[in-house]
Amino acid sequence: MRHLLTRGRCAPRPAESAEERGAIALLAAALIVVILGIAAITVDAGMQRVGRRDMQAIADIVSLDLARLVNGRTAQEIRSGTPGFAPLESARDASVERNSADVVGEDLEVRAYLVKLDDAGEFERDADGAPLQVGALDRPDAVVVVADASVGFGFAPIFGISEGGVARESVGANGESACLRIGTLALGLARETGSVDAVLSEALGTDRLDFHVLVGAEVALRDLDRGLDELAPGGAADLATVPLDSLVVALRGALPATSPARDLLDELANELAPDVAAARIDVAALLGLSQGAGSTSTLRVDVLDLLAGAAFAVHGTDPIAVPGLDLAFPAASGLPDLTDVEATLSVGQRTQVGCSPGTATAESSRVRLEVTGGLDVRVPETDPVARVRGPVRLSLTLADVVAGLQAVTCDERGLPRTMSVSVDEAAPARVDADLSGLRVVELGDGGATTPLEGLIVSAAQRVTEHDFLLDLPRAYALGAVVAASPNRSLPEVTAADLDALGIDLAAVEGPVLRGALNPLVRALDGLAFEQVAPALGLRVSGVTLTAVRTPSCAGPSLVG
């Protein structure tokens, strides 16, 4: 049985063999048809894809070219042309002519639409799906370019289809660009005073150096980048994290040979404390720049600001003490009842640069002043007369400001004219008072003594927002613009603030508020605005905004 089965499987009958003859040929014919079909689809669909890619390429390039025309002029002006700018149609044709030589496809047609983008970067379309153009007197902010052609098929004509259309779309906008430096604190404003030397020397662990020679010294970020590359051969990443001593050397190399700042940086490189010298600094993060933002290469960086930022970065979030700042507190504040005063001033965070309108923000650095002392004050206004005494600890924080670069406006010639900046003073000045050691003693026979255990009070200047429009000089001679705020003092603490603490202070709120707390707040107010701020060059409730690279109106980009 097994033998028979085996024979039956392996040896076909003559009749079946005769039937199967030619089966391979049939199979091959079928496969060839299938494969040729696949080949036909490959060729035709592939050419379609190439045509689409070419349409995208030409749409992108033409929209980039035409985006330069969208510079704040009306649609009518763009279409008809103004001095220095070709009419839209001829600019489009010239761009197409330059870029269409190798394009796959026939009957190439390129259309340009002047549109207005909404907040999401979208534009409206008409009933046919075409971009909805702005009116003649409206000012578009983008141009939509549609490239359309037909690609002939090689095999599809068998089925009566001779060609297929390919169309791609691209949206170009003319983004203005600028960079903003906020200098609420910082050392950038302290250049006229001695505090910059004290702070930087302390932060960098050196003897007191004359950092004032760095004032006004600038380097091109590109040169700095090259210098860092030379110091770290093989390093692929631009502006990568580098040791602080390498940054100092690179800064020196990027300065002009005649700059006196080079000697100071030489001296600094030799005197850096070892741990500080080895600390790694992320230069790009320090400047608030992102790679590929298109704004880094021409940026010029203030050496003093960068060095100060690096010094703060070394210390992380730890504040840096400011030694030698002689504060006349409380003598000059009209509060002689505070004794054994100890004041510590520190600065933290860093100066920042922000670029890219609409998204960039720059945050100021922060100054923190700690004052401790013993208070012993008689409050005659209360009935019965009370005396407030005990240790107090006051903490004053200044300059917590965020500035955002909103927009750069351009004139009809495509030159930047204004730069609008919003400033959000989240807490430009704030006092935290720890009064938990105070006691209120009613004078006279049987006067009660009320401890204020757990009493910690905060008073902050109210949050403000300002919008500033900076007039950009024609020659781009960039300078500082000071924006002053009318709110320039700390608010008085009220009974409501005390109630909010959940402590029953009805009996003592008069003495506490009138006799102790608010005089202290006023004293601190005077200390902040009349002593600390001038000493550090700080403008509380005001910021110094500086455009740190030439604002440009000609920054075309693809936005869709």
Partner 1 sequence: MVVGGLRRALTRRAQDTTPTFRREDRGAAAVEFAIVVIPLLYLVFGIINYGYMLAFRQSVSQAAAEGARAAAVAPAGLPEADLRQRAAEAVDGALESYDVSCEVTSGLLMHGDEESGTCQITGPVTCSGSTTGAQCMRVELDYTYADDPLLPDVGYGIVLPDHLKFASEVQVS
Judged by the rule CB under 8 A, the positions of this chain that interact with partner 1 are 1, 4-5, 7-8, 11-15, 17, 20, 24-25, 27-28, 31-32, 35-36, 38-39, 42-43, 46-47, 49-50, 53-54, 56-58, 60-61, 64-65, 68, 84-86, 90, 93-95, 97-99, 101-102, 177, 222, 294-295, 297-298, 550, 552, 554-558
In angstroms, rounded to a whole number, what is the distance separating the alpha carbons of residues 378 and 474?
61
Q: Which of 428, 450, 447 is nearest to 437 (CA)?
A: 450
At closest approach, how far in Å is the CB of 92 from partner 1? 11
At closest approach, how far in Å is the CB of 258 from partner 1? 22
How many other C-beta atoms lie within 10 A of the C-beta of residue 551? 26
Q: Which of 181, 204, 183 is nearest to 365 (CA)?
A: 183
In angstroms, rounded to a whole number, what is the distance separating the alpha carbons of residues 376 and 339?
8
At closest approach, how far in Å is the CB of 420 from partner 1? 20
At closest approach, how far in Å is the CB of 27 from partner 1? 7
At closest approach, how far in Å is the CB of 287 from partner 1? 15
At closest approach, how far in Å is the CB of 403 from partner 1? 22
**Owner of token pair 């200098």:** 183
CB nearer partner 1, residue 39 or residue 161:
39
At closest approach, how far in Å is the CB of 235 from partner 1? 16
CB nearer partner 1, residue 30 or residue 426:
30
CB nearer partner 1, residue 83 or residue 446:
83
CB nearer partner 1, residue 150 or residue 193:
150
Q: What six digits make up the tokens of 479?
A: 């300078």
In angstroms, rounded to a whole number, what is the distance separating the alpha carbons of residues 539 and 524?
16
At closest approach, how far in Å is the CB of 168 from partner 1? 11
Q: What six digits make up the tokens of 406?
A: 């909103």
At closest approach, how far in Å is the CB of 118 from partner 1? 23
CB nearer partner 1, residue 11 or residue 120:
11
Quote the crossing angle between the two packed helices 261-271 and 244-254, to the nearest 10°: 160
CB nearer partner 1, residue 49 or residue 462:
49
In angstroms, rounded to a whole number, what is the distance separating the alpha carbons of residues 385 and 444?
8
CB nearer partner 1, residue 462 or residue 474:
474
Helix, strand, coil % over all residues of the chain, rounded to 5: 35, 30, 35
How many other C-beta atoms lie within 10 A of the C-beta of residue 364? 27
CB nearer partner 1, residue 151 or residue 362:
151
C-beta pairs of 253-260 under 8 Å, 24+ apart in sequence = 253/223, 253/227, 254/219, 254/220, 254/223, 254/224, 254/226, 254/227, 255/217, 255/219, 255/303, 259/217, 260/213
CB nearer partner 1, residue 28 or residue 484:
28
At closest approach, how far in Å is the CB of 499 from partner 1? 56
CB nearer partner 1, residue 416 or residue 428:
416
How many other C-beta atoms lie within 10 A of the C-beta of residue 224? 24
* CB burial of residue 88 (10 Å; 0-12, 13-18, 19+): buried
In angstroms, rounded to a whole number, what is the distance separating the alpha carbons of residues 252 and 270?
13
Phi, psi dihedrals of residue 434, rounded to the nearest 5°: -100, 105
At closest approach, how far in Å is the CB of 212 from partner 1? 30
DSSP-derived secondary structure for 347-398: EES--EEEESTTT-EEE--EEEEEEEEEEEEEETTSSS-EEEEEEEEEEEEE
Please compute Rg for the chain using Cα positions.
Answer: 36
CB nearer partner 1, residue 116 or residue 300:
300
Total count of residues recorded for the chain = 560
Decide: helix, strand or coil at residue 197. Answer: helix
At closest approach, how far in Å is the CB of 19 from partner 1? 12
CB nearer partner 1, residue 8 or residue 260:
8
**Owner of token pair 């910690």:** 456
